[in-house]
Structure 1
Amino acid sequence: MLDNTSTLGSLLLSQILFFFLVSSSSWTSATYTIQQTFFRCLSANSMNSVPLSSYYTPNNVSSFMSVLNSTANNLRYLLPTVPKPMIIFTPLSEAHVQAAVLCSRQFALTMRVRSGGHDFEAVSYVSQIEYPFVVLDLARLRAIEVDIPQGTAWAQAGATVGEVYYRIAEKSKVHGFPMGVCTSLGIGGHITGGAYGSMMRKFGLGADNVLDVRMVDAKGKILDRKAMGEDLFWALRGGGGGNFGIILAWKLKLVNVPETMTVFTVTKTLEQGATKLLYKWQKIAPKLDDRLFLRVIIQASSANPTENRTVTTSYMALFLGEPDTLLWIMGKHFPELGLTAAECIKMSWIRSVLYMAGYPNNTTREVLLQGKSLFRTYYKAKSDFVRTPIPEKGLLGLREIYFEEELPFMIWTPYGGAMARVPELATPFPHRHGTLFKIQYLVSWQDGTKNMARHMSWIRKLYDYMGPYVSKNPREAYVNYRDLDLGMNKKGVNNLMEASSWGLKYYKSNFYRLVQVKTKLDPDNFFRHEQSIPSLPVKKGN
């Protein structure tokens, strides 16, 4: 037990040994004391009792590492050399979250907040700039209440996208919600970045369809939309995770979906005219019927560089309607793809969720309740937004760069539709009118650190190559595809100029309004991380 001081020596020894295995920071006896007193602080400041089973420290290496690794999907940030938290707390109630904020402030501990663990640069469970730090893991706060007569749902921050979809479909065949394709995302952080998905051209982002929210601020107070005011409510819906407070739950506005939807995937290689097709897609995909979402997945045909490789472009579509209508639309606007009736598959909305997420066709919907990531590997990702079609010459140049890497991967996601109709200032997410499509770049590998430098260098080379063809001044990026290459806060620094290096790319001019909201809400900059919104210095009165 943490309170048993007679075992202090042996526990401290095991803790020091653990440090040499998994951390580059120095541990002292003060660390162990804080671990003890932090738990007592939680119990003293919470209206609900805090069970020991919700509290993890490196003194029990097995359980600690199991929880730390449980939802982390980027193995780069689980390497032994990466800093580890001194405490992981998995709250069971809102009162526990409030207590965690109060106690972290009392002990001057940096806090990281994790809802799903999909942060591409792991700032939700790793701190590379400040130590010691605590991880608040919201995985046990995952209740979902669906109210079909009202057309709404409340979902706690630790619930996954898949769980929310499942619970909606459990109650209705003609309701859904527009957010992520990846079903293991935690919605707490997902919606704070915007939350795009395969219905966004019809209904917009997840953040566009939020009615209310519950969050804990830097003083440990629980705020809803009425209590926080519209400026903060605006900031939370696209302003990025870890900036303003801890999301407890979102109130979602459900959308109406047809009982029958249609999906297809058609793959074309370079030899089948993929380059000309991709050039045509750029022009027509953002202008298609709002009900049609047609993205492109671009890969190399083989991971073996000695084989005769080609580039494949897979056109993956979701249409909110019947196959006959879809075939008419495609025949009129994109006949070059050669879509046939045999390639169109009819299904319900919830089945389409599984299809678009990449599950096999015989997968039952109950897999959505597992909250398990299909993608758990070493990887690096980057993003871009495109406003003018990339010429065929530019597309051809991608081929040689692609063949330099074993597992190159890009997803081109079309905009237009509802995305073009929502003003850039409506939410912090600014990538709206004039955006043709978004690019996600990804490189993954399984051999740990062996060839990490080469893989990282490759994706940066690809990103540099694409520079002339993408948005400029600023070169935009998606905050939910966090990229530390864009810059980082330095230890102990809260600098507006420094933060603008990534802030303007993620939010464009909305960045400055976010800074104002942050300064008013959290002047001490308690909620901070490697790419957080800064608080401006507050002038004290005479």
Structure 2
Amino acid sequence: MAVPAGAALALLLCVLSCYAPALSSAAAGDFLRCLSASVPSQLLLTPASPSFTSVLASSIRNPRFFTPGTMRPLCIVAAANASHVQAAVLCGRRHGVRLRVRSGGHDYEGLSYRSVRPEEFAVVDLAGLRFVRVDRAAATAWVDSGATVGELYYAAARADPQLAFPAGVCPTIGVGGHFSGGGIGMMMRKHGLSVDNVLDATLVDASGRILDRKAMGEDLFWAIRGGGGGSFGIVLSWKVRLVRVPLRVTAFTIQKTVAQGAIDAVTKWQTLAPALPDELTIRVVIQNQQARFQSLYLGTCDQLLPVMSSRFPELGMTRADCREMTWLQSVLYINSGSTGQPGEALLNRTTSLSTFTKNKSDYVKQAITRESWQKIFPWFNGPSAGLIILEPHGGQVSRIADGDTPYPHRSGVLYNIQHIAFWSGDGGTAATTWINGFYSFMGQFVTKNPRAAYVNYRDLDIGQNAVVGGVTSYDSGRVWGERYFGAANFKRLAITKGKMDPGDYFRNEQSVPPLVQTPKQVSHTSSRHENCCL
């Protein structure tokens, strides 16, 4: 039996009031009516919609943010084209509803689909915008923000098995979020970060305009390539430079226990890994008091063996450890350890809500001593202990200047550390106690003043924005922002935000605040910029 339109709207507003008590029923209705004029009903999902919960959960990677107490959106706009994104921005500004934008849902604090503070918001879900168009001759691709890096990898290799792209290990990461924060991966030592290979982009700004690189200007184009998501607009698509890889690459995984020399190997790895040939990346996963060395070499086993025997004999690598394969197969191997999966497995976007996680990050510029590693390894013992992943820098990623993109962790950085605690059921207290204790303990060994962090491993513990007079406070933003971006880059990001979105429409708990300069400040900044370029 059909439900009368008036009754349906009344039911909808009743449901909405449970999710956003601060928004009046009239404002909620006006916002939804505005959206419905431009977005088809099947793409505009409210809590009353049968598919609302399944769509909301479809890209949630951490069930920590899918509990009954989590602030839910007024609606989900499952955008199928640019006009739906524009409508969300224009209707949201008109009726006082902010937007959270989700591509792959990997935001470690869930800010792409939830709000920490009570506020009215809608989610723009970009999963429907996932087209990848490869230009084989030019070795470039246009990739929509809703695509995953796995889909980008697959499309590039399908066009030419010697085309690839430098990005993350996990294939379900959304392109939009990954590029917005920089893009660490197994080929960054050879080809730089993901953002070092972005050539153009299209973006919907706070006025609802669609801008390409020329229209947005170089400051905004600089900001979106590593300045964090949710601050400057909604990037619809990215033009990237693809890189060439050999027809066969070599991967290996070697695990060492403490008794087998794990501590000595990790100690040496710290200064060796950033200085190895750019074609060779070796990262380390430390868990259960063991060190797992995972490697990608852009060449053959015959070429790799002499390098390993002369430079890293402590690992004891032999020909039996080599796994020669295509680059596409290496992505699957490094992510899962499996060599038998077809390339189509990279297209799987399936999510799981079985494992809760909490993440933190660090950077190391001075190698940690062997004696200190002897104190670190015992932390990885017991049912509540998590793991850390050490990602080497050096090579191309460190040759690019700290200010060339918002990602500043380049010259002098040996490696990045990702801290991960995980649990299921009600084991969160012990796991979070472990990661907080371990993170505090590691403070003596990592960068200081500030203690640097990676924005793609978002951590709200290092600071959250305060809103003053309707906009985010610059001083509150500096607390976390200078740790992600460095002081100079963060100020430039804030100035760019002040030019493009002075009203601070695009904001979340760790979005860049607007810093609006006076004419005198602008003149001084311009003169300084001109002088540095003479």
Aligned length, in residue pairs? 516
RMSD: 1.9
Q: What is the correspondence of 1:413-424 to structure 2 with a 5 Å cutoff?
A: 413-424=391-402
Any residues of structure 2 matched to 1:338-417 within 5 Å, and which? 338-358=316-336, 360-373=338-351, 377-417=355-395
Which SS does the other structure have where 1:258 is aligned? coil
Matches of 2:142 and 2:291, distance apart in 1: 38
What is the one-letter code of the residue matched to 1:535? Answer: P
> Per-residue deviation at 1:14?
5.5
Instruction: Quote how far apart the aligned CAs of 1:113 are.
Output: 0.6
- The corresponding residue for 2:21 is 26
- Would the aligned equivalents of 2:206 and 2:505 in 1 still touch at CA under 8 Å? yes
Q: CA deviation at 1:402?
A: 2.1
Within the alignment, does 1:439 sit opposite 2:417 as a pair? yes
Q: 1:527 aligns with which of 499, 506, 521?
A: 506
Partner residue in 1 for 2:527: none
Tell me the CA shift for residue 26 of structure 1. 2.9
1:253 partnered with 2:241: yes
Contact 1:405–1:458 (8 Å) recurs in 2: no
Which TM-score applies when normalising by structure 1?
Answer: 0.92
What is the SS of the residue equivalent to 2:123?
strand
Residue 484 of structure 1, aligned match among 448, 460, 463: 460
Aligned residue runs from structure 1 range 135-534, under 5 A: 135-300=123-288, 311-358=289-336, 360-373=338-351, 377-447=355-425, 450-491=426-467, 494-508=472-486, 509-534=488-513
**Aligned in 2, Cα 1:55/1:281: closer, same or farther, shift over 3 Å?**
same
- Displacement of 1:452 in angstroms is 2.0
Q: 1:224 to 1:128 in 2, by over 3 A?
A: same
Matched to 2:188, the amino acid is M
Q: Which residue of the partner structure matches residue 40 of structure 1?
A: 33
Q: Is the 8 A contact 2:60 2:353 kept in 1?
A: no
Q: Residues of 2 paired with 1:96 and 1:353: CA distance?
A: 33
Give the direction of change, closer, same or farther, for the CA distance of 1:376–1:419 in structure 2 (3 Å limit).
farther
Deviation at 1:524, TM superposition (A): 0.3
Q: Secondary structure at the match of 1:85?
A: coil
Partner residue, 2:40? 51
Check whether the contact 2:354–2:424 (CA below 8 A) recurs between aligned residues: no
Please, which moves more after superposition, 214-223 or 4-13?
Answer: 4-13
Q: Distance in 2 between matches of 1:114 and 1:176?
A: 24
Cα offsets for 1:355-393 (capped at 9, x unmatched): 122152211111111223478621100000000110112
SS of alignment partner, residue 255 of structure 2: strand
Question: Which whole-Å deviations, capped at 9, do the CAs of 1:221-253 have from their partners, x for residues lacking one?
Answer: 001001111111111111010110001000010
Residue type of the alignment partner of 1:433: S
Residue aligned with 1:212, SS? strand
Unmatched tracts of structure 1, length 5 or more: 301-310
Alignment partners' CA distance in 1, 2:421 and 2:451: 20
Query: Contact 1:3–1:36 at 8 Å: present in 2 too?
Result: no
Gaps of 5+ in 2: 521-534
Task: Please say if residues 73 and 376 of structure 1, whose CA atoms lie closer than 8 Å, have aligned partners that are also in contact.
Answer: no
* Matched residue type, 1:207: V
**CA offsets, 1:66-124, max 9 Å, x none?**
11111010111111111111111111110111111000001111210111100000111
Distance in structure 2 (CA, Å) of the matches to 1:207 and 1:379: 26
Partner of 1:5: 6
CA distance in 2, matches of 1:75, 1:351: 29
User: Residue type of the partner of 1:63?
Assistant: S
Give the structure 2 partner of residue 305 of structure 1.
Answer: none
Sort the Cα spacing of 1:3 and 1:385 in 2 relative to 1 into closer, same or farther, 3 A. farther
* Structure 2 partner of 1:88: 76
Measure, in 1, the Cα distance between the counterparts of 2:135 and 2:51: 37
| Worse-matched range after superposition: 100-109 or 391-400 | 391-400
Q: What is the deviation of 1:471?
A: 0.8
Residue 396 of structure 1: CA displacement?
Answer: 1.3
Q: What is the Cα deviation at residue 539 of structure 1? A: 6.3
Classify the secondary structure of the residue corresponding to 2:444: helix
Distance 2:112 2:293 in 1: 33
Q: Give yes or no for contact 1:377–1:445 (8 Å, CA) kept in 2.
A: yes
Structure 1: distance between partners of 2:212 and 2:471 = 30
Specify whether residues 530 and 317 from structure 1 end up closer, same or farther in structure 2 by C-alpha distance, changes over 3 A only.
Answer: same
Displacement of 1:406: 2.9
| 1:41 partner letter | C
| Alpha carbons of structure 1 residues 250 and 323: separation in structure 2 relative to 1, 3 Å | same
Measured against aligned partners, the alpha-carbon deviations of 1:435-481 in whole angstroms (never above 9, x if no partner) come to: 0000000000011xx33233212101101111111011111100000
User: What secondary structure, in the 3-state scheme, does the structure 1 residue paired with 2:421 have?
Assistant: strand
Identity of aligned residues (%): 45
User: Which amino acid in the other structure matches residue 26 of structure 1?
Assistant: P
Normalising by structure 2, report the TM-score: 0.93
Which amino acid letter does the alignment assign opposite residue 317 of structure 1? S
